[in-house]
Amino acid sequence: MRCFIGIDLGSTTTKAVVMDENLQILGRGITNSRSNYDTAAAVSKQEALIDTRLTLFRRALSNVPEVSGKVDDILSDLERNFRHVQFLEQLEDLQNTCIANIKGPRFAGREKVVIEALEGTFSRLRDSSAAQYAPGVKRKSDFFRDLAGAEFMSHGEAVCKEAGLGFDLILNVYDKSIIEVENRPPAGDMEGKFVRALEKGTMTGSSILAPVQSALAIPLEETYVVGTGYGRVRLPFPKEHIRSEILCHGLGAHMMYPDTRTVLDIGGQDTKGIQVDPVGIVENFQMNDRCAAGCGRYLGYIADEMNMGLHELGPLAMKSNKQVRINSTCTVFAGAELRDRLALGEKREDILAGLHRAIILRAMSILSRAGGVKDQFTFTGGVAKNEAAVRELRKLIKENYGDVTINIDPDSIYTGALGGATFAVRAVVN
């Protein structure tokens, strides 16, 4: 079947969306952007294609009367097993890479013991991985680095201790190798992995097997790919396949909420106020100037300044009942203002509430420059996940523009990629 793909290369994460020619979303994928944009694009695309397969399975199974009511379980079982197969494959790659990296004076004469320790560690990792993918277990992360890393630490330490070997020796090899593995485009053969996952699974009854295998046999043909986001120029695409993220966010928001007229996107590096017409065409936009004050990065700095995780800022700010006025959205000044307020004995939650307000005030100014807020209003970008920012935004929108509908989609992180995929469909289908 013809697949249309949008890839949004953001500064921190890369997202992909796969669509069919009827503009139905088939799959979504996400990965860390890290250092290598090409890999990030390849990984997110592959993730979205995996998700697409799952959608196709779902469609196939929905016609099977015997499994009615059980499709969700079957699919989650299948996905779990698939992820496990995928994990094992990457683990093997990691093991081989680690072994290949055992060279140099550091290891001279000790290669054999180190290799044995590594093999022992990886063997335990393989065994324990089954538990990570057991039914009902909530995985801690979607990223291989996080999942493999934690286990490697505990098993590696134990193995080294038993062997009387310094753990730092294999840790060092691991650190070097994980980056290589991460930056390697993932191996293909998605179908093969699904077959292995099916074999692993418990539900291989023929009523399931046949429809799943026929869904698996549908070729996924990459008909057109559109790239967007800050890293877009780094994509190995011809120019016609690249769209600015302003247009992609406008169109993506329109696809989610066809009646939306105003879109606010607060991303890591910039803030955009966008007006779209009834068919999703951008009419007007404004964005912050060269200074990234008030964007997602600003919150990152604040989190660092307060020694907190980015995701903790919103919840803490929500606890405030007295807002401190922060006048500066300038990243540098805000740090100073923050320390000053803390020194004056203000509470952290109150200061944070003030900071969130400062960000939203700046966004309000960009919105008004773009022509104000019209019904319906859609908020996208990473900051849309921050409840304290959302609370301020709702307040200020109401004060300034009255009762407009405010949309915030749980999948809003995919807005740009969704717009990209829609452009891809339009490029071919029109």
Q: Where does this chain bind other proteins (CB under 8 A)?
A: 22-24, 230, 243-247, 254-255, 258, 270, 277-290, 369, 371, 425-426, 429-430
Question: Min. distance of Cβ 284 from other proteins in angstroms?
Answer: 7
Q: How far is CA 301 from the centre of its chain?
A: 20
With beta carbons less than 8 A apart as the criterion, state whether 360 and 392 touch: yes
Q: Which is nearer to other proteins, 181 or 274 (CB)?
A: 274
Residue 267 DSSP code: -
Residue 145 is inside which H or E element, if any? helix 144-163
Question: Min. distance of Cβ 295 from other proteins in angstroms?
Answer: 12
Q: Which is nearer to other proteins, 15 or 232 (CB)?
A: 232
Largest CA distance in the chain: 75
Question: Min. distance of Cβ 419 from other proteins in angstroms?
Answer: 11
Q: Which is nearer to other proteins, 166 or 372 (CB)?
A: 372
Q: Which is nearer to other proteins, 130 or 428 (CB)?
A: 428
CA gap 65, 77 in Å, rounded: 19
CA gap 27, 46 in Å, rounded: 10
Question: Min. distance of Cβ 340 from other proteins in angstroms?
Answer: 22
Question: Min. distance of Cβ 35 from other proteins in angstroms?
Answer: 18
Question: Min. distance of Cβ 290 from other proteins in angstroms?
Answer: 3
Helices marked H in 230-371: 245-256, 296-305, 310-318, 331-343, 348-369
Backbone angles phi, psi at 109, to 5 degrees: 80, -10
With beta carbons less than 8 A apart as the criterion, state whether 148 and 125 touch: yes
Q: Which is nearer to other proteins, 183 or 269 (CB)?
A: 269
Residue 322 DSSP code: S
Residue 384 DSSP code: G
Question: Min. distance of Cβ 123 from other proteins in angstroms?
Answer: 48
Helices marked H in 68-143: 71-100, 111-132
Question: Min. distance of Cβ 320 from other proteins in angstroms?
Answer: 33
Backbone angles phi, psi at 98, to 5 degrees: -60, -45
Which residues, in sequence order, are bridge partners of residue 2? 221
Question: Min. distance of Cβ 29 from other proteins in angstroms?
Answer: 21
Q: Which is nearer to other proteins, 232 or 356 (CB)?
A: 232
Question: Min. distance of Cβ 278 from other proteins in angstroms?
Answer: 8
Q: Which is nearer to other proteins, 25 or 178 (CB)?
A: 25
Q: Which is nearer to other proteins, 84 or 249 (CB)?
A: 249
Single-letter amino acid, residue 97:
T
CA gap 250, 415 in Å, rounded: 8
Single-letter amino acid, residue 48:
A
- 280 backbone φψ class: left, alpha, beta (φ>0; ψ -120 to 50): left
Q: Which is nearer to other proteins, 52 or 288 (CB)?
A: 288
Q: Which is nearer to other proteins, 280 or 354 (CB)?
A: 280
Residue 173: CA count within 13 A, CB half-sphere: 26
Q: How far is CA 98 from the centre of its chain?
A: 27
